[in-house]
Amino acid sequence: MTGHGRGVDSAMNADRPAKTAIRSLWADVVAQEKTGLVAGQPLYLTLCGAAAKDLLLLAERGIITLTETRALSAPDEALVAAVESSADGVLELQRTMPGLKVFQQRIEEMLRGSSPFSWPEGEARRWCRAKVVNLDFNSSLRGGLSGDWPQFPTLDVIDKLADLHTEPSTQEWLLLLTLQAQIQWPVELIQSVRGFLNDNFSHHQSFAELCERFVGPVAFEDLVSGELPWANLSSEAQQRVLMIFLPKAVASRVRGRWRIEVEANIRYGGEPGTGSAPMCSWVIRFARDARAVNANDAYLGALNSAVSRPQYIQADGTFHLDRAV
Ligand SMILES: C[S@@+](CC[C@H](N)C(=O)[O-])C[C@H]1O[C@@H](n2cnc3c(N)ncnc32)[C@H](O)[C@@H]1O
C-alpha cells in the first residue's frame, strides 16, 4: 500500500475545518514557545503523518523555513523532527519534506517502552525533550486492567516523556495530544475509572461542581454511580467523559513532579451524518512544581483548569465554550 492509500492520510487530507482549526491552535502554541526556547533545545517533535500538514502550516506561518525545493532549511533541521511508525508513511513524508529528521518507529519504541529501567539515548533522547511534543494519534485511548491496576499505554508514553524532560535538567514543555474519543474499555476498567473519578469528586468539591456543569446532572449521575458501559453513551457524552478523565489521569501520573495546566480541552467531530470521527484534543503545559506550591493545591489547580473552559469546535471550524448547563 502506498502512503496515499492509507486511510489515515485520506482523513488528514480531507482538511475538515475542525482539524484545520486544531492545526492553527498548534501553530500558535509552537510560535509562542519558539520565543523562549533554550539554546540547543529542539522545538517540536510531531506525529505529523505522511502529508506533514502541521509542519507545512508552521512553514506557512514563518515559524520554520522551507527552501525553494520545499526541503526543510538547514538551520531548522535542529528545530523540528517527526516520528512515524508506518514505513509507507515515512517514504511519503521524506518526499513531502526532504531534510526532515524522521524516527521510523512507534513513539513507544523510541521511548524504549514503559519500563523505568530502559531509556532512549543520544539523538532520540534529545528529541524526546522537545519543547512541544505533538501526539496526534489516529486511535482511541486503549486501556485494560493488570490485576486490579488500570493500564493505559498512552499514559505510560506521557509519563515517560514527562520524566525525560527532567533529565539531565528540568525543561518545561507542552504536550499536544489528540485521540479518537470512543471509549471501548472492558466493564471492569470502567468501574475502576468510575471509582477513581468518584474519589476525586468527593475530595475536591470545586472539581465535582465544574464536572457536573460540564456534563449535566444526568450524565454526572452516571459517572458517579452508573453501571452502563460507556461505549453505549452518545459520541458527545463519550467525548466529555474523556475530557474529564484524561487530564485528571495525567495530573495524577505526574503529581509531585510537574504542575500541569490544561490550556485547551477540546472536542470536535462525531456529529451524526458527517462521517467524521469523534475526537478530543488537549494542550497541556508541564511547569516546574515549585516547592512553594503545595502538591495538593497544584493538583486541584490542574483538575480545575481542565474543566473550567472546555471547548467544542463545530464542523465549520469555529470554537465554542462547551457546557451542558
Ligand atoms: C493523525 S496522523 C497525523 C496527522 C497530522 N498531525 C496532521 O496534522 O495532519 C497520525 C500519524 O502518526 C502515525 N502514528 C500513529 N500511531 C503512532 C505511534 N504510536 N508512533 C508513531 N507514529 C504513529 C500514523 O501512521 C499517522 O501517520
In tens, the pLDDT along 237-260 reads: 899 999 999 999 999 899 888 989
Return the minimum-mean-pLDDT range out of 121-135, 150-164, 305-319: 305-319
Q: Is the CB of 222 under 6 A from ligand 1?
A: no
Pairing of strands 279-288, 311-313: unpaired
Answer left, alpha or beta for residue 49, where phi above 0 means left and psi between -120 and 50 means alpha.
left
According to the model, what pLDDT value does residue 293 have? 56
pLDDT computed for residue 292 by the predictor? 43
Q: Is the pTM of this model over 0.75?
A: yes
**Structural domains in the chain, sorted by start:** 3-321 (3.40.50)
Averaged pLDDT of the chain: 91
54 pLDDT exceeds 70?
yes
Tens digit of pLDDT for each residue in 108-153? 999 999 999 999 999 999 999 999 999 999 999 999 999 989 999 9
Q: Which of 138, 139, 155, 178 to mutate to test the pocket of ligand 1 (most atoms within 8 A of CB)?
A: 138
319 three-class SS: strand
How many angstroms is it from 47 CA to the middle of ligand 1?
Answer: 4
The listed range with the strongest mean pLDDT (102-111, 166-175, 202-211, 301-310) is 102-111
What's the pLDDT score for residue 1? Answer: 41
Question: pLDDT tier at 301 (50, 70, 90 boundaries)?
Answer: confident
Per-residue pLDDT tens for 39-49? 889 999 999 99
**pLDDT of res. 323:** 77
Cell of 18: 475542525
Distance in angstroms (rounded) separating the CA atoms of residues 283 and 167: 22
Q: Are 133 and 29 in contact (CB under 8 A)?
A: no
pLDDT at 288: 85
Written as one string, the DSSP assignment of 107-121 is HHHHTT-S-TT----
Cell of 129: 525533550
What's the mean pLDDT in 80-96? Answer: 97
Q: Is the CB of 89 under 6 A from ligand 1?
A: yes
Distance 143 CA to ligand 1 centre (A): 19
Query: Do the strands 311-313 and 144-146 form a parallel or antiparallel pair, or are they unpaired?
Result: unpaired
Q: 322: buried, middle or exposed (CB in 10 Å: 19+, 13-18, 0-12)? A: buried
Q: How confident is the model at residue 294 (pLDDT cuts 50, 70, 90)?
A: low
Regarding the beta carbon of 125 and ligand 1, being less than 6 Å apart is answered: no
Q: What are phi and psi of 174, to 5 degrees?
A: -125, 140
Q: Is the pLDDT of residue 3 over 50?
A: no
* Ligand 1 atom closest to 86 (CA): 25
Q: Classify residue 156 by burial, with Cβ atoms within 10 Å: 0-12, 13-18, 19+.
A: middle
Q: Which residues of 293-321 are buried (b: 16+ CB within 10 A; e: fewer)?
A: eeeeebbbbbbbbbbeebbbbeeeeeeee
The pLDDT value recorded for residue 291 is: 52
Query: Nearest CA to 121 among 145, 219, 129, 34?
Result: 129
Return the closest-CA partner of residue 234 out of 221, 215, 254, 252. 215
Q: How far is the CA of 84 from the centre of ligand 1 (A)?
A: 6
The angle formed by the CA atoms of residues 72, 21 and 242, to the nearest 5 degrees, is 110
